[in-house]
Amino acid sequence: MTGRDFADGIDERHPPAVSPALSALLEPIGTGAYVVDEGGCILAANAHAERLLARPARDLLGHDAHDLLHRSRYGAPLPRTQCGMRQAYMARRTVQSDDEWFERGDGSLVPVSWLITPCHVEGAGETTLVLFHFPGDPEVAGSGTNRLHGPLPELDRLALLAETTTQLTSTLDVEQALRRLVGLVVPQLADWAIVDLITERDEVRRTVVVHAENGVLVYREDLQGPMPPVPQNSMMPLSRALRGVSSALAGPETYQGTPDSGIAVEQQRLFEETGIHSAAIAPIRGLREVLGALTLGRAQRPDPLTTADLPLLEDITRRAGLALDNARLYQRQRKVAETMQRHLLPQLPHVPGLQMTARYLAAPDASQVGGDWYDAFTLPDGATALAIGDVVGHDLDAAAGMAQIRNMLRAYAWSQQEPPSRIVERLDQAVLRITEVTMATMLFARMTVEGDRWRLWWTNAGHPPPLLVASDGRARYLTEGHGILLGAGSHGPRPDASAELPPGATLVLYTDGLIETPGRSLDEGLGLLRQHAASLAHRPLESFTDLLLERARPSGNDDDVALLALRVPSVP
C-alpha cells in the first residue's frame, strides 16, 4: 500500500476520528507505522510501532514524535534543526533514510530506518505517514542492552574534546564554566554530573549536582553545599580524586560499608537520592594544585560506566582544570584591583547641613575594574571640594593611575586658592609629564555656602555632566563649563561655570558606567538617568542613591560605576 493509497482509504471511510479508527487502518502494514499531524504530534500508531518502540498507544498518541522519540546517537535530545525526519515532514516531502536514532520506552537507544510520505486525513489537516523498522530487529537486539558501549569513536571523542576546549576557554567566570562543563557531558555521557570544588581555604563544596530530565538540565540544590574535609588516608574514590591521586569507578556498593569519613557519608546519600548505579570520578587538576573532582553517574541508562570511559573523562577534567584555574586567577586579579580601588576611595567629610553619600560598583568582568573614582574633602577656606573621574584603561594600571590623579588634585586644590579651572589646568600639565596616565575624564567643583544659599563652581574635563534634581522633581543637566579631557595636550584656558542649588536639591555626580551601554545612545542613557532621578526626588538620600543605581544602570553593563550624591538643606 502506497502513501497515496493509504490516504485515499482514510478519506473515504474515516472522517474526523483519527484514533483508534485510524490506527486500525495502519494494522495491515507489516512494519512500524504512525501518523503525525502538521505539528508533529502522533495521531495514530499500529501494534508493530507499539512493540518496536516499547511504548503502549497511550504513551504515543497526542505526543510530539520528535520530543518523545528522536535522539542523537548518544542519547541526547536532538535539536529540531538537526532532525532529518522533522525537516522532511515539515517540508511535505517523501524521504527515506537510515540516519536516525529512537529512544524506546525502556530507555534503550536504537538505530532506525524510516520512510516518510505526506498524506491527507479528512478532518485532521495535513498529516504525514511514518514507516520505520530497526535493522537486525530480532526483538530489537535484546531490548535495553543496545545502547552504545565502551568509549566514543575516535572522531566523536576528538569532537567532544574540541568542543570542551572551546566552551571552557571562552569564559573567565567559574560558574559559567561549570554550567558549560555539565552541559557537555550530560546527557551525552551520563545522566548525572557532580562537581566538587576545593576552595582557596582548602574547604570542599559540592558546587553542582545536575541531571537530565526530559532533555532539560535540572539542578538538585538540596544535594549541593559544603562538604566535610578531605581525609588524607581514605581509599574511597572521591577522597582519592580530591587529593589528586587517581580517577576510579564507583557504585552504591562502594559506599555500603561503614563510612570511613564524612565525605563517604555524603557519597552514600548521593547514591541513595539519585539512584546512580554506576559512576566514574576523576580529579580536576589546575597548574599548581587539585581544584576538585568531576563525577559522572548513570541511573536511567542501564549500561554501566567502565574503565574504557576513564581516559575520556580524564581528558575532559584536564581541560576543565585549566579553564577553572584561569578563571580563579582572573577573579583573584579582579579582587585585588577592586580591593585596591575601594581602599583608595576616600571617607566623605562631614559638612554641616549637607548630606553626602557615595557608591562604587565594580564591573562584573575583572578586566574592567579600576578606572572610576570620586573624592570629597574640605578646603582651607571652608569650601567643599568635589571630584569624580574615570581613567582611560582598566585593571590595576587604571587603579594606580586614578590614585596618582586624585592625590595630585588634592595637593593642588589644597595649596592653590584658585578657581576649579585653574586647578585642573595645573593637573593636566602634570598628567602629561609626571604620570603614566594616558587620558582621563574628570569633573572638579567647589561648593560654598553663604547663609542658606548653596552654590556650585565647577569645570568639566570631558566628563558626563552633573545632574541637578530639585525637590519638586524637576531635573536638569549642568552642561556649562565643559572642556577637553585630561591628557589630550590642551594648553588653552579651561572654562568655569557656577549654579545656585535650590533648597532641598540633590546633586548627582557619576561616571559613564551609569549611562552607557552597547546598543544604546548616550542621549538615551542621559534621558533615562534624568527620568529615574526625577521620580526619586522625594526619597531620602541613601534610598535615592541605591534605587537610582538599581534602575538607571544598564543591564549587562560591563563597566564599573562611581556615584557621588549630595543634598542641600530644605528651607526651614
**Window from 103-117, 222-236, 401-415 with minimum mean pLDDT:** 103-117
Task: Report the Cα 553 to chain-centroid distance in Å.
Answer: 19
> Which residue has better confidence, 470 or 48?
470
Secondary structure class of 527 (helix, strand, coil): helix
Predicted confidence (pLDDT) per residue in 5-16, tens digit? 444 444 433 333
Q: Across residues 52-71, what is the average pLDDT? A: 90
* pLDDT at res. 137: 56
Res. 289: pLDDT tops 80? yes
Q: Looking at the predicted structure, is the pLDDT value of residue 216 above 90?
A: no
Round to whole Å and give the CA distance between 503 and 470. Answer: 8
Phi, psi of 41 (to 5 degrees): -85, 140
* pLDDT reported for residue 9: 42
Check pLDDT > 80 for residue 156. no
Contacts 24+ apart (CB under 8 A), 491-496: 493/421, 493/425, 494/421, 494/422, 494/424, 494/425, 494/428, 494/459, 494/461, 495/421, 495/459, 496/419, 496/420, 496/421, 496/457, 496/458, 496/459
CA 479 to centroid of chain Cα atoms: 38
The per-residue pLDDT for 74 is 66
Q: What is the pLDDT of residues 537-562, one digit of tens each?
A: 999 999 999 999 999 987 767 678 99
Q: Which of 514, 559, 562, 170 lies closest to 368, judged by CA?
A: 559
Q: Give the pLDDT of residue 388.
A: 96
Per-residue confidence band for 94, with pLDDT thresholds at 50, 70 and 90: confident
For residues 89-97, give the mean pLDDT: 81
Q: What confidence category does residue 303 fall into, taking pLDDT thresholds of 50, 70 and 90?
A: confident
Query: Which of 109, 272, 274 shows the shortest CA–CA distance to 188?
Result: 109
Residue, of 412 and 79, whose pLDDT is higher: 412
Do β-strands 42-45 and 192-198 pair in parallel, antiparallel, or remain unpaired?
A: unpaired
pLDDT digits (tens, 9 = 90+) for 489-515: 777 899 999 999 999 999 999 999 999
**Average per-residue pLDDT for the chain:** 84
- The alpha-helical segments, DSSP class H, found in 294-379 are 310-344
The full set of domains in the chain, from first to last, is 3-142 (3.30.450.20), 154-333 (3.30.450.40), 345-567 (3.60.40.10)
SS3 readout for 65-76: HHHHHEECCCCC
For residues 202-226, give the mean pLDDT.
Answer: 90
pTM of the model: 0.50
For residue 139, pLDDT over 70 is answered with no
| List of E strands, 418-560 | 440-450, 453-461, 467-469, 475-477, 482-483, 497-501, 506-510
The predicted structure's pLDDT at residue 107: 78
> In the structure, what pLDDT confidence band is assigned to residue 73 with cuts at 50, 70 and 90?
confident
Q: What is the pLDDT of residue 57?
A: 87
What per-residue confidence (pLDDT) applies to 338? 62
pLDDT for 342 equals: 60
Q: Give residue-wise pLDDT tens across range 352-385.
A: 999 999 998 876 654 455 578 899 999 999 999 9
pLDDT > 70 in the chain, percent: 86
Res 10: pLDDT: 40
Least confident piece of the model among 175-189, 392-406, 411-425: 392-406
